[in-house]
Amino acid sequence: MNYDVIEFFGLLENGQGDLSPFELDPLIQRPVSALTFLSNQSKLDSFNCPAVVDYLKNVYYIPSPLAFSIQRFPDGKFSIINTANGQDLRAFLQVGLPERALLFGSPMFTILLQYVFINDGNNVTMEVIDPPLFHNGLTNITGEYNISKWIRPTNFCCFMDPNIEQLNIERGDPLYAVRFRSKTNNFKLIEVVDDKRKEQILAEQRKALSMKKYLPGLKLQQMYDLFKKRMDSLWR
């Protein structure tokens, strides 16, 4: 069977800058196959439906590295607590950033958890979506781009259900999901464990994001074209 190889790694940081590079790597978990996760929860006949299998087979849940709770107070403020020890997690999960505007009356939440996925030239598109068939009370910012032509982190940006006052997330619960598409539609995910390789990928990612800052309004194809040499350099 032909398959496309996807390199990936996860990164958890805080907004204070007091962590050494990759310090929290032991908390990062592999993306979990949606079909595997759901099949472990229930033996629904629907999971044998070809249409369902075809959609879900390349969907991977991104699991939460921490157990935490979000509580909304009447004055519009929030508490974000590590349920394992009561630690304040607002340095990791920020309210009202990077978007300050509200959506249906709710502010944006951003957890400083990013996963990076790259592929060597197989024209692989990645979608960032809400986790199918798993409701966690959060609605994610969605999008898609070609991970063979451009690098950007899948930052976890979401909005909390305005009808929920308190939300509890367990370690390992899906926060969001990614779905891959290519000509083969078969994929093998390989985790990057070498820190030098991670640094190399992150350096190129910063260049990719800087293009948007200094040349605003670029279309995706324009960014792909401008970034081609830098993307190629990752496999020289």
Dihedral sign for Cα atoms in the order 35, 54, 56, 128: positive
Q: Which pLDDT score, from 0 to 100, does residue 21 have?
A: 80
Task: Please tell me the CATH code under which domain 4-192 is placed.
Answer: 2.70.40
Overall average pLDDT of the 133-158 stretch = 92
Q: Cα 53 vs. chain centroid, distance in angstroms?
A: 22
User: Residue 10 corresponds to which amino acid?
Assistant: G
Domain ranges for the chain:
4-192
pLDDT for the residue numbered 19? 81
Counting Cβ atoms within 10 Å, is residue 177 exposed (0-12), middle (13-18) or buried (19+)?
buried
For the stretch 63-102, pLDDT in tens is 999 999 999 999 889 999 999 999 999 988 899 988 899 9
Confidence check: pLDDT of 155 > 80: no
Residues 128-153, mean pLDDT to the nearest whole number: 94
Q: Which residues, 6 or more positions from 112, have their beta carbon under 8 angstroms from its beta carbon?
A: 12, 13, 14, 15, 92, 93, 94, 155
Alpha-helix residue ranges (DSSP H) falling in 23-116 = 34-41, 50-56
Q: Provide the whole-model pTM.
A: 0.94
